[in-house]
């Protein structure tokens, strides 16, 4: 346990640099501020897989009341903690596969767009119509419009950082 803690501390400067780099990409005016609506992208891009609820919690902890912006000062320590504690680890491929299989009740091996749309827009942390359209454009097969999830998972899962 001590070892893990030690190595975590040693990794801190590394982690800081990573967070700053991701933050900077959305800091358009170079004033160490990022629009709260884009901070989700920053957090995701650091390799975390929070739910929307998790995101809201993080944001609530760092947002500058009512300005609509998040400053680096507050974001850095909060995000560092998240990363060092591996709070929102990536989803293992097999778990993801199981999730798709749950939705694919008939065990067809693919999901029809209507099926997927129903689940994504009516259950869980609902997708907006825009998000749904984008997902289908990205994931559905060109010809038959079905979502062959098995192939997608291996294509789209990324390597964990660190």
Please report, as ranges, the residues that interact with another protein according to CB under 8 A.
Answer: 13-14, 17-18, 21-22, 24-25, 28-31, 40-45, 48-52, 90-91, 95-96, 98-100, 102-103, 119-120, 123-125, 127, 131, 134-135, 137-138, 142, 156, 158-159
Nearer to another protein, 65 or 94 (CB): 94
CA nearest 152: which of 86, 102, 77, 97? 97
Shortest separation between residue 64's beta carbon and another protein, angstroms: 19
Shortest separation between residue 50's beta carbon and another protein, angstroms: 7
Nearer to another protein, 29 or 106 (CB): 29
* CA–CA distance, 153 with 104 (Å, rounded to integer): 15
Shortest separation between residue 13's beta carbon and another protein, angstroms: 7
Q: Which residue do the tokens 């190595």 mark? A: 7
Nearer to another protein, 51 or 67 (CB): 51
Shortest separation between residue 22's beta carbon and another protein, angstroms: 7
Helix axes 72-84, 2-24, angle to 10 degrees: 140
Spell out a b/e string for 8-20, using b for 16 or more CB atoms within 10 Å of the CB, else e. eeeeeeebeebbb
Nearer to another protein, 29 or 114 (CB): 29
CA 76, 15, 88, 29 dihedral sign is positive
* CA–CA distance, 70 with 23 (Å, rounded to integer): 10
């Amino acid at each position: 346990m001590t070892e893990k803690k030690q190595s975590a501390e040693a990794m801190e400067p590394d982690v800081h640099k990573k967070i700053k780099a991701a933050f900077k990409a959305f800091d358009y005016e170079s004033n160490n501020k990022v629009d709260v609506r884009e901070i989700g992208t920053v957090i995701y891009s650091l390799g975390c897989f929070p739910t929307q609820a998790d995101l809201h919690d993080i944001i609530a902890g760092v947002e500058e009341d009512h300005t609509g912006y998040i400053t680096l000062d507050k974001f850095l320590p909060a995000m560092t903690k998240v990363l060092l504690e591996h709070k929102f680890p990536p989803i293992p491929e097999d778990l993801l596969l199981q999730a798709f299989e749950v939705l694919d009740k008939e065990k067809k091996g693919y999901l029809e767009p209507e099926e997927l749309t129903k689940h994504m827009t009516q259950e869980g942390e609902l997708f907006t119509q825009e998000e749904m359209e984008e997902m289908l454009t990205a994931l559905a097969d060109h010809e038959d419009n079905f979502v062959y999830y098995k192939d997608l998972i291996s294509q789209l899962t990324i390597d964990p950082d660190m």
